[in-house]
Amino acid sequence: MVQLTIKQQQELCEILAKFGIHEVRDVHGHGDGHIHSTYLVTTAYAKYIMQKVNTVAFRDVDALMQNIELVTAHLKKKLAQAGKNPLRHTLTVHRALDGAPYYREYNHVYRVYLFIEGESRNQANPADMEAAGAAFGEFQNMLADFPSSCLDETIPHFHDTPRRMDNLEKSIEADVMGRRAECEDLIAFARAHADLAHSVTDEIAKGLVPLRVTHNDTKLNNLLFDPKTNEAFCVLDLDTVMPGSLLYDFGDALRFGMATAPEDERDEAKIGISLDNYRGFTRGFVREAGNAMTDKEKELLPLSPLLLTFECGIRFLTDYLDGDKYFHIACPDHNLARARNQLTLVRRMEEAYETMKQITEEVLNENSGS
């Protein structure tokens, strides 16, 4: 829990009043996200999540919030039809007094959600990963009939890995912070894997991988778990919900969930992968979303964790070269450590790739008659 000064609390209470929220008993920092500043607000009558939106990452706040409200409205209908409580199983935006889904104070933008009681997890085991796979697979199913063309790209080209490679090359060339020399081994690794960057975008261009409504940031800690049942019952952080590939959701969840160490672990000997976690997530995901997948999507499932881990690694590397403008950092070389960690994970996945393919085939066969 991040404690705030009295002045900070007072300033946030003034913002909360713009949402009609009064009688605040406590407000403190919450969570460990890289992008926004997040606070848990406790009042005499309810709890809320308040965020100061990172408008460098999300420049079009109207499009951002419109996407979220469109998607959550659709999810609420589907959840109600399934006999589930929409207020528990998806996010609810609490609008400001002027009717807007956010409040702007000078150059700062704030938004508020109803708080949902649940448990967030940062370390995965196979059971957690199977529950997570089922939750993200169900998320895909509930949005299968929602037209992706209705959504804006809140971060254009978010999972356009070839473009991410182009951005890295520009940052290498500019070297604005004079950091290139300490990154040469990572730069060489990224360039040697340039073909990997095209593995999904080329198939989208051919029409073999369809565009769907996707979450695009499917880390385990973007789910709420019920500690009694172990069900992953609510998908959080809908900022990057937009048109994309199902493979991005599958791959990013495993980028995080297969890793045996935090994404900024510096000891290479501790950076490994869990194939049991891979099997667990694949089981849950395929069980819920497998029947809707194309043959090409099924074929690329085991490659997608390599792609998404590679993409994340070159994003961290690019941000380090650029002077840490995007991701929050805790020390000057934080993004460098993250980049080195993620690209080490790519190597680990390459070593286990044939086994990952075999596991995927086994799981798909298990579900072929369902």
pLDDT at 55: 86
Query: What CATH class does 6-114 carry?
Result: alpha beta
Q: What is the mean pLDDT of residues 282-308?
A: 94
Our measurement of the distance from residue 319's CA atom to the centroid of its chain's CA atoms, rounded to an integer in Å, reads: 18
Scored b (16 or more CB within 10 A) or e, 76-96 reads bebbeeeeeebebbbbebbbb
pTM for the whole structure: 0.90
Q: How far apart are CA 246 and CA 307, in angstroms?
A: 13
Q: Which two tokens stand for residue 225?
A: 């778990």
Average pLDDT along the chain: 94
Confirm if 137 and 285 have CB atoms less than 8 A apart.
yes
Q: What is the mean pLDDT of residues 3-8?
A: 86
Q: In which element (H, E) is residue 2 found?
A: none
pLDDT of residue 276 exceeding 70, the answer is yes
Query: What CATH class does 126-366 carry?
Result: alpha beta
Give pLDDT tens digits for 170-202. 999 999 999 999 999 999 999 999 999 999 999
Give pLDDT tens digits for 97-150. 999 999 998 889 999 999 999 999 888 899 999 999 999 999 998 998 899 999
Q: How far apart are CA 234 and CA 75, in angstroms?
A: 11
Backbone phi, psi, residue 217, to 5°? -155, 65
- DSSP secondary structure code for residue 153 in this structure: -
pLDDT of residue 31 exceeding 80, the answer is no
pLDDT of residue 32 exceeding 90, the answer is no
Percent share of the chain, pLDDT over 90 = 86
pLDDT at 368: 80
Backbone phi, psi, residue 230, to 5°? 70, 10
Spell out the domain ranges in the chain. Answer: 6-114, 126-366
| pLDDT band for position 370 (cuts 50, 70, 90) | low
Q: Which two tokens stand for residue 111?
A: 């938004």
In a 3-state reduction of DSSP, which class is residue 7? Answer: helix
**100-103, Cβ contacts within 8 angstroms, sequence gap of 24 or more:** 101/65, 101/66, 101/68, 101/69, 102/53, 102/61, 102/65, 103/15, 103/18, 103/19
Q: What is the mean pLDDT of residues 27-32?
A: 83
pLDDT at 290: 76
